[in-house]
Structure 1
Amino acid sequence: MLDFAIFAVTFVIILVGAVLYLYPSSRRASGIPGLNPTDEKDGNLQDIVNRGSLHEFLVSLHQEFGSVASFWFGGRPVVSLGSVDQLRQHINPNHTTDSFETMLKSLLGYQSGMGGGASETMIRKKLYESAINNTLRNSFPLVLKLVEELVGKWKSIPEDQHTPLCAHLLGLAMKTVTQLALGERFNDDAEVISFRKNHDAIWSEIGKGYLDGSLEKSSSRKGHYEKALSEMESVLLSVAKERKAHKKQTVFVDTLLQSSLTERQILEDSMVFSLAGCVITANLCIWALHFLSTSEEVQDKLYQEVTEVLGSDPVSLDKIPQLRYCQQVLNETVRTAKLTPIAARLQEVEGKVDQHIIPKETLVIYALGVVLQDSNTWSAPYRFDPDRFVEESVEKSFCLLGFSGNQTCPELSFAYTVATVLLSTIARQLKLHKLKGQVMDVRSALVSTPKDETWITVSRRS
Structure 2
Amino acid sequence: MLDFAIFAVTFVVILVGAVLYLYPSSRRASGIPGLNPTEEKDGNLQDIVNKGSLHEFLVSLHDRFGPVASFWFGRRPVASLGSVELLRQHINPNRTTDSFETMLKSLLGYQSSLGGDAAENVKRKKVYESSINRTLQHNFPLLLKRVEELAEKWQSYPESQHTPLCSHLLGLALKAVTQLSMGSRFHDDMEVLRFHKNHEVIWSEIGRGYLDGSLEKSSTRKKHYEDALCEMETVLKSVARERKGGSSSQSAFMDSLLHANLTERQVMEDSMVFTLAGCVITANLCIWAVYFLSTSEDVQEKLYRELKDVLGDEPVSLDKIPQLRYCRQVLNETVRTAKLTPIAAQLQEVEGKVGQHVIPKETLVIYALGVVLQDADTWTLPYRFDPDRFEEDSAERSFSLLGFSGNQACPELRFAYTVATVLLSSLVRKLKFQQVERQVVEARYELVSTPKDDTWITLSKRS
Which residue of 1 is the match for residue 280 of structure 2? 279
Letter of the 1:408 counterpart: A
Q: 1:79 to 1:99 in 2, by over 3 A?
A: farther
1:169 deviation in Å?
0.2
Normalising by the residue count of structure 1, what TM-score does the alignment of the two structures yield?
A: 0.95
Identify which of 7, 23, 26 aligns with 1:23: 26
Describe the superposition over 1:272-297 as per-residue Cα deviations: whole angstroms up to 9, x where unpaired: 11011000000000000000011111
Q: Secondary structure at the match of 1:449?
A: strand
C-alpha contact 2:9 2:344 (8 A) present in aligned 1: no
Structure 1 residue aligned with 2:438: 437
> Is 1:199 paired with 2:183?
no
Q: Secondary structure at the match of 2:374?
A: coil
Task: Give the whole-Å Cα distance in 2 for the aligned partners of 1:75 and 1:98.
Answer: 26
**2:135·2:253 contact (CA, 8 Å) conserved in 1?**
yes
- Work out the CA distance in 1 between the residues paired with 2:12 and 2:413: 24
TM-score by length of 2: 0.95
Alignment partner of 1:350 is 2:354: no
Residue 67 of structure 1 and its aligned partner are, at CA, apart by 1.4
Q: Is the 8 A contact 2:12 2:345 kept in 1?
A: no
> Does the alignment pair 1:324 with 2:320?
no
Name the residue aligned to 1:66. 66
Deviates more, 1:177-186 or 1:354-363: 354-363
Amino acid at match of 1:190: M
Q: Which residue identity lines up with residue 321 of structure 2 in the other structure?
A: I
Counterpart-to-counterpart distance in 2, 1:440 and 1:376: 26
Q: What whole-Å deviation, never above 9, does each CA across 1:57-115 have from its counterpart, x for those lacking one?
A: 11111122221221111111111111111111222234434654344333322233233
264-273 vs 104-113, greater mean Cα deviation: 104-113
CA shift digits 1:387-443 (9 cap, x unpaired): 000001001000111101111011110000000000011111000111011111100
- Alpha carbons 1:100, 1:343 under 8 Å: kept: no
1:11 aligned onto 2:12: no
Partner of 2:420: 419
Deviation, 1:116, is 1.7
Deviation at 1:11, TM superposition (A): 3.4
Distance change in 2, residues 1:252/1:93 (3 Å): farther
Q: CA deviation at 1:209?
A: 2.8
Q: 1:310 to 1:390 in 2, by over 3 A?
A: same
Partner of 1:297: 298
What CA deviation, in whole Å up to 9, does each residue of 1:185-232 have, x standing for no partner?
A: 101111101100110111111122334433222222111111100000
Distance 1:117 1:65 in 2: 40
1:208/1:431 CA distance change after superposition, 3 Å: same
Check whether the contact 1:431–1:458 (CA below 8 A) recurs between aligned residues. yes
Taking only aligned residues, the RMSD between alpha carbons, in angstroms, comes to: 1.9
Q: Which structure exhibits the higher relative contact order, with contacts defined as CA atoms closer than 8 Å and separated by 6 or more residues?
A: 2
Q: Tell whether 2:288 aligns with 1:265.
A: no
Distance 2:162 2:313 in 1: 29
Identical positions, percent: 72
Q: Residue type matched to 1:56 in 2?
A: E
Q: Secondary structure at the match of 1:418?
A: helix
Q: Which residue pairs with 1:398 in the alignment?
A: 399
Match of 1:44 in 2: 44
Encode CA deviations 1:103-155: one digit per residue, 9 max, x unaligned. 43333222332332443332222221111000000101111110000000000
Which sits farther off after the overlay, 316-325 or 30-39?
Answer: 30-39
Give the AA of the match of 1:300. E
Contact 2:16 2:364 in 1 (8 A): no
Task: Provide the C-alpha distance between the structure 2 equivalents of 1:124 and 1:268, rounded to a whole number of angstroms.
Answer: 12
Q: CA deviation at 1:8?
A: 6.6
- Counterparts in 2 of 1:7 and 1:317: CA distance versus 1, 3 Å: closer
**Structure 2 unaligned spans of 5+:** none
CA contact (8 A) 2:82 2:369 kept: yes
Separation of aligned partners in 1, 2:119 and 2:252: 26
> In 1, are the aligned partners of 2:166 and 2:454 still within 8 Å (CA)?
yes
| Letter of the 2:288 counterpart | W
Please give the alpha-carbon distance, in whole angstroms, between the structure 1 residues aligned to 2:127 and 2:19.
27
| Structure-2 residue corresponding to 1:362 | 363
How many angstroms does 1:311 deviate by? 1.3
Q: Spell out the pairing of 1:195-274 with structure 2 (5 A cutoff).
A: 195-246=195-246, 250-274=251-275
Given the superposition, is the C-alpha separation of residues 245 and 350 from structure 1 closer, same or farther in structure 2, using an over 3 Å criterion? farther
2-structure distance, mates of 1:84, 1:392: 15
Which residue is equivalent to 1:96? 96
Equivalenced residue count is 458
Cα offset for 1:49?
A: 1.6
Equivalent residues of 1:3, 1:54 under 8 A apart: no
Look up the match of 1:34.
34
Structure 1 residue ranges without an equivalent (≥5): none
Q: Report the CA distance shift for 1:420/1:8 in structure 2 as closer, same or farther (over 3 A).
A: closer
Secondary structure of 1:207's aligned partner: helix
Corresponding letter in the other structure for 2:165: L
Residue of structure 1 equivalent to 2:313: 312
Displacement over 6 Å in runs of 4+: 2-5
Kindly indicate whether the alpha-carbon contact (under 8 Å) linking 2:79 and 2:364 is maintained by their aligned counterparts in 1. yes
Q: Which residue is 1:160 aligned to? A: 160
Distance in 2, Cα, partners of 1:2 & 1:46: 25
User: Does structure 1 retain, via aligned residues, the 8 Å contact 2:342–2:370?
Assistant: yes
Q: Residues 216 and 222 of structure 2 are in contact (CA less than 8 Å); yes or no, is this contact kept in structure 1? A: yes
Q: Which amino acid aligns with 1:113?
A: S
Give the letter aligned to residue 88 of structure 2: R
Contact map agreement 2:307 2:324 (CA 8 A) in 1: yes
